[in-house]
Chain A
Amino acid sequence: MPSNIEVSIEGFTGPLDLLCHLVESRQMQASKIKVAQLVRIYGAYLSKTRNASAEIISEFFFMAAGLLLQKVLSLLPSDKENVSSGFEDSDESYDVISEEELLARMSRFSPYRKATSILIERKGKQDRKFRRISLHVADASFPKYELGDLYNLSKLWWSILAAHRNENNSESIWDEDESWDGVPESLPDEARIQTRIDEITEKLRKYPVLLLSSLIEEQKLLSTSSVSAIVVTLLALLEMCRMKKISVFQEELFGEVRINAAFSDSIAY
Chain B
Amino acid sequence: MAKSGLTLLSATASRIEAVLFVASTQVSERELSETLAVPTREISAALLELQEHLAKHAHGIELQNIAGAWQLVTNPHYAEIISLFRDVSERQRVRISKASVETLAIIAYNQPVTRSEVEEIRSVRSESVIETLLSHGLIKMAGRKKSVGSPWLYRTTDRFLEVFGLASMSELPSLEEISIAGVSQEEQNKEDEADSQA
Report how far A119 CA is from B121 CA in the complex, Å: 18
Report how far A3 CA is from B79 CA in the complex, Å: 60
Which of A17-25, A50-58, A145-153 lies at the interface with chain B? A145-153
B72 CB contact (under 8 Å) in A127, A131, A139, A146: A131
Q: A119-B101, A129-B76, A132-B23 are in contact. Are A149 and B141 (CB under 8 A)?
A: yes
* A130-154 interface code vs B (CB 8 A; 1 in, 0 out): 1111101001100100101111100
Which of A62-70, A103-111, A205-213 lies at the interface with chain B? A103-111
Closest residue of A by beta carbon distance from B165: A126
Closest residue of A by beta carbon distance from B91: A133
Q: Number of A interface residues at 8 Å Cβ cutoff, please give it.
A: 38
Asked whether, in the complex, the Cβ of A129 is within 8 Å of the Cβ of B141, the reply is no
A111 CB contact (under 8 Å) in B101, B104, B182: B182
**B135 at interface, CB cutoff 8 A:** yes
B73 CB contact (under 8 Å) in A108, A123, A130: A130
Enumerate chain A residues within 8 angstroms of B165, measured Cβ to Cβ: 122-123, 125-126, 129
Asked whether, in the complex, the Cβ of B73 is within 8 Å of the Cβ of A131, the reply is yes
Closest residue of A by beta carbon distance from B180: A111
Report how far A114 CA is from B172 CA in the complex, Å: 12
- Measured CB to CB, the closest approach of chain A to B194, in angstroms, equals 23
Closest residue of A by beta carbon distance from B71: A131
A130 CB contact (under 8 Å) in B92, B96, B109: B92
Asked whether, in the complex, the Cβ of A111 is within 8 Å of the Cβ of B93, the reply is no
Q: Majority SS of interface residues in chain A?
A: helix
Enumerate chain A residues within 8 angstroms of B163, measured Cβ to Cβ: 123, 126
Report how far A120 CA is from B98 CA in the complex, Å: 8
Asked whether, in the complex, the Cβ of A119 is within 8 Å of the Cβ of B104, the reply is yes
- Residue among A108, A119, A133 with most chain B CB within 10 A: A119
Closest residue of A by beta carbon distance from B89: A130
Closest residue of A by beta carbon distance from B158: A146
**A115 at interface, CB cutoff 8 A:** yes
Report how far A69 CA is from B138 CA in the complex, Å: 39
Q: Chain B interface residue count: which class?
A: 35 or more
**A118 at interface, CB cutoff 8 A:** yes
- Measured CB to CB, the closest approach of chain B to A121, in angstroms, equals 9
Asked whether, in the complex, the Cβ of B24 is within 8 Å of the Cβ of A123, the reply is no
**B45 at interface, CB cutoff 8 A:** no
Q: A133-B91, A134-B24, A146-B140 are in contact. Are A112 and B125 (CB under 8 A)?
A: no
Asked whether, in the complex, the Cβ of B101 is within 8 Å of the Cβ of A123, the reply is yes
A108 CB contact (under 8 Å) in B108, B121, B127: B121
Report how far A139 CA is from B22 CA in the complex, Å: 13
**B4 at interface, CB cutoff 8 A:** no
Asked whether, in the complex, the Cβ of A112 is within 8 Å of the Cβ of B109, the reply is yes
Report how far A155 CA is from B134 CA in the complex, Å: 10
**A242 at interface, CB cutoff 8 A:** no
Asked whether, in the complex, the Cβ of B24 is within 8 Å of the Cβ of A136, the reply is yes
Asked whether, in the complex, the Cβ of A32 is within 8 Å of the Cβ of B125, the reply is yes
Q: Can you add 10 more A-B contacts, CB < 8 Å, to A111-B182, A131-B72?
A: A114-B181, A116-B98, A118-B172, A118-B173, A119-B104, A123-B96, A129-B76, A134-B24, A148-B142, A152-B140
Enumerate chain A interface residues (CB-CB to B < 8 A): 10, 32, 105, 108-116, 118-120, 122-123, 125-134, 136, 139-140, 143, 146, 148-152, 155
**Pairs A-B, 3 closest by C-beta atoms:** A126-B165, A134-B24, A128-B79
Enumerate chain B interface residues (CB-CB to A < 8 A): 23-25, 62, 64, 71-76, 79, 82, 88-89, 91-94, 96, 98, 101-102, 104-106, 108-109, 121-123, 125, 127, 134-135, 137, 140-143, 157, 163-166, 172-173, 175, 178-179, 181-182
